[in-house]
Chain A
Amino acid sequence: GEDVEQSLFLSVREGDSSVINCTYTDSSSTYLYWYKQEPGAGLQLLTYIFSNMDMKQDQRLTVLLNKKDKHLSLRIADTQTGDSAIYFCAERKSGGYNKLIFGAGTRLAVHP
């Protein structure tokens, strides 16, 4: 199948770390992405990781990839209220054009 699965909701306290998890199915996927969607807006690419990497860090964001388990995670350090949004995991299918398979999104709520 083409399922990308994520938990639907995560609540964290401001200043704590957030970890959003995702599992995917296609072991031949070459790129894996994290997108952020704020209310009333489209999706914004946050970060991505190539399948031959197991970690990527970009300021407060850390992406971990376990290719054996087909598990991807996004860690946001020092979570702020502005991080409240829906976070989508996506895998890019190998070959052809840029077909992305998205998860249902994880709604991150940050409370004081």
Chain B
Amino acid sequence: ETGVTQTPRHLVMGMTNKKSLKCEQHLGHNAMYWYKQSAKKPLELMFVYSLEERVENNSVPSRFSPECPNSSHLFLHLHTLQPEDSALYLCASSQATQGAEQFFGPGTRLTVL
């Protein structure tokens, strides 16, 4: 595997379910990001981990819980989501230096029923 991978690619869940999204990067980066992409809206930065420490929590509801166990893996734990949380969730990684390019994964398409 190369680059940034995300699993699953598609997820359908009910509002009472608990699920997790996984992101893995094989680029030797030490910063990782979660973004939410909704139709016709700007990409929203949700969380940033730099050197395995969370450095940004962009006013995200607590029903989204990130976890970064090491510099190569990033999770987004989901529980009691709402239908408006349906979106494409993108993971990205970069070097933890200013101006470093962010490399994106293909995203997980989440549908909350």
- Would you call A97 and B31 a contact (CB within 8 A)? yes
Which one, B14-22, B61-69, B71-79, B103-111, is touching chain A?
A: B103-111
Please give, as numbers and ranges, the residues of chain A lying within 8 Å of B104 by CB-CB distance: 35, 42-44
- Interface size in chain B (residues, C-beta < 8 A): 27
Interface flag for B81 (CB, 8 Å) = no
Residues facing A in B22-77 (CB within 8 A) are 31, 35, 40-43, 45, 48, 50, 55-56
- Would you call A102 and B94 a contact (CB within 8 A)? no
- Would you call B31 and A45 a contact (CB within 8 A)? no
- CB < 8 Å: which of A3, A30, A44, A102 contacts B43? A102
Chain A interface bracket (under 10, 10 to 19, 20 to 34, 35 or more): 20 to 34
Residues facing B in A4-24 (CB within 8 A) are 4, 8
- Would you call B42 and A102 a contact (CB within 8 A)? yes
Please give, as numbers and ranges, the residues of chain B lying within 8 Å of A105 by CB-CB distance: 42-43
Output the residue of A42, A104, A105 with the most chain B CB within 10 A.
A42
Alpha-carbon distance between A30 and B98 when the two chains are bound, in angstroms: 10
Residues facing A in B75-113 (CB within 8 A) are 90, 92, 94, 96-107
Alpha-carbon distance between A92 and B55 when the two chains are bound, in angstroms: 16
- Offer 11 A-B interface pairs, CB within 8 angstroms, sorted by A: A40-B106, A43-B90, A43-B104, A44-B104, A45-B101, A92-B99, A97-B50, A97-B96, A98-B94, A102-B43, A104-B41
Q: Which 3 A-B pairs have the closest CB atoms?
A: A42-B104, A102-B43, A43-B104
- 8 more A-B contacts (CB under 8 A) besides A8-B40, A30-B98? A35-B104, A42-B104, A96-B55, A97-B48, A97-B96, A98-B98, A98-B99, A105-B42
